[in-house]
Amino acid sequence: MPNPAGQPPLAGSIHLDPNFTVGEVNPRLFGSFVEHLGRCVYTGVFEPDHPSADEDGLRTDVLALIRELGVTMVRYPGGNFVSGYRWEDGVGPVEQRPRRLDGAWRTVETNRFGLNEFMRFAAKADVEPMQAVNLGTRGLQEALDLLEYTNHPAGTAFSELRRSHGVDKPHGIRLWCLGNEMDGPWQLGHKSADEYGRLAAVTAKAMRDVDPGLELVACGSSNRSMPTFGAWEATVLEHTYDLVDFISCHAYYEESDGDVDSFLASAADMEAFIDGVVATADHIGAKRRSGKRINLSFDEWNVWYQSRPVNNTDTPDWSVAPRQLEDVYTVTDAVVVGSLLITLLRHCDRVTAACLAQLVNVIAPIMTEPGGPAWRQTIFHPFADAARHGRGQVLRLALDSPVHDTARYGEVPLLHATAVQQEDGTLTVFAVNRDTTKPLELTADLRACNPVAGQVTHTALADPDRHAANTLQHQDRVTPKSVTGTVTDGGRLSALLPPMSWNTLTIPLAP
């Protein structure tokens, strides 16, 4: 790929050995999120009148893109929405379902799409469901009722209600979120850490009594800048440590005040977030002299321009499925998303579930038009690359990189990278060049991995216009392109990473 700025390249290197690993990537790391917000559901995944709609009203063009994206798990139905949601409204005959005000997003929810529709979607998209329960305006009993409806085979009030709705076999959902962002004052039913921890503990215990095989996620901090960060996790885990499997993390990033260097270094914050939560969880485990380890569910993460005015809709409050949070993503945003994926992979020993928020239309990798096409946003591509090539063992890297100063995160390396050895014998290196004008010459010592000489596939997502985006009018303006000149020789890899780029390098290994 050419160097349009004509700048002399930087230089960075990595060294790795297959005997030194971080851990195996859990497929759940490539999850996403469907919330009843904006057009994520209605005219997103579900549009019965669309030309591509199937018998369940699901857009088959969107389903095809979801499968191409490589999503493995989808969290549902929220998000802030779940804290005011009555799950019973979304089951049974559609014509009998009530319309409700959704206080989280000031819209009207028709409840035309609910739990059973979502489960049909999950089956067709080939994703694992991650179900959230309302611990905002509701509590223990409603969670148990939902669990009985969802997972109990037959012979009880709620399991028979499900069967009367045409779902004979239980859904068997294993992974459950105990509420959403309960530390946030914006959340319906916001609670203190002690209040939430007590509620989460009694709910978790009761749910496990019904179904011991469940995996449960307690709410962690909504972001690392919350004033209660750290203390919140400690208090919640004091109550729930023996009853849950995960503590959640949420983080969104955006470019502000033209500070592109800090934005490109956003993963430094995610790295510190993960390290802080791991340290807090392990501290509570040590206090309890427990042999159990709490993992992290990073079940909301993405680029989201929250500081912008609400610029996607001029519809009044209390409308149905308005255009909300429909950020159009650029090359710069895609490079940041790639860097965040690298961070999640680098921490795969503790981050064993994660959800890109969200899946369609709302801060999403996939966009649609009602009655019209569906297309890939720029951020689609790094996620698809990682989901396709990032399965296996993450290797520990010794990395040498030039650094630069950022206003928000201090000194950060310009090269951000990780490597995954896949079961098929392929080694994949994911690398980001954070410099906005200079290419970076990457060398990698792969001798311990025994690479096949001369055989490398290198693609890069980059563009001379960092604001380039994929839109309705130009749906494939930005796509990964093949890079020539990348070679392996004598066990060493040489590659040129374009300025501000996401790079995927796949190298076959000799047996």
Domain ranges for the chain, please list them: 10-21+394-508, 26-389
Per residue in 276-332, pLDDT (tens digit) is 999 999 999 999 999 999 999 999 999 999 987 654 555 668 999 999 999 999 999
CATH of domain 10-21+394-508: 2.60.40.1180
The pLDDT value given to residue 266? 98
Cβ-proximal residues to 45 (8 Å cutoff; 6+ apart), any chain: 34, 58, 59, 62, 63, 66, 121, 359, 360
How far is residue 460's CA from residue 385's CA, in Å, rounded to a whole number?
10
**pTM tops 0.75:** yes
Catalytic residue numbers, as ranges: 181, 300
How far is residue 44's CA from residue 357's CA, in Å, rounded to a whole number?
14
List C-alpha distances in Å: 112 to 60, 96, 108, 146, 436: 18, 10, 11, 18, 46
How far is residue 479's CA from residue 84's CA, in Å, rounded to a whole number?
39
Transcribe 122-136 into DSSP letters: HHHHT-EEEEEE--S
Of residues 444 and 454, which shows the higher confidence score?
A: 444
Domains 10-21+394-508 and 26-389 alike in fold: no
Under 8 Å between Cβ of 271 and 343: yes
The domain defined by 26-389 folds into TIM Barrel (3.20.20)
The tokens describing 434, both together, are 């954070």
Q: What integer is the mean pLDDT of 193-209?
A: 98
Which of 436, 439, 434, 443 has its CA nearest to residue 413? 434
Sheet with 415-421: list strands edge to edge: 481-482, 457-461, 501-508, 426-433, 415-421, 393-400, 10-24, 440-445, 492-497, 487-489
Given a cut of 50, whether residue 1 has pLDDT beyond it is no
How far is residue 339's CA from residue 219's CA, in Å, rounded to a whole number?
25
- Report CA 278 to chain centroid distance, whole Å: 19
Per residue in 468-495, pLDDT (tens digit) is 999 999 999 999 999 999 999 989 999 9
Q: Which residues, listed in sequence order, are joined to residue 252 by a DSSP beta bridge? A: 302
Cβ-proximal residues to 118 (8 Å cutoff; 6+ apart), any chain: 34, 76, 77, 129
The tokens describing 251, both together, are 């983080």
To the nearest whole number, what is the mean pLDDT of the chain? Answer: 96
Query: Is 245 in a helix, a strand, or coil?
Result: coil
Under 8 Å between Cβ of 397 and 473: no
Count of residues making up the chain: 511
Amino acid present at 351: V
Confidence of residue 453 (pLDDT cuts 50, 70, 90): confident
Q: Which residues, listed in sequence order, are joined to residue 131 by a DSSP beta bridge? A: 76, 176
Q: What integer is the mean pLDDT of 337-357?
A: 98
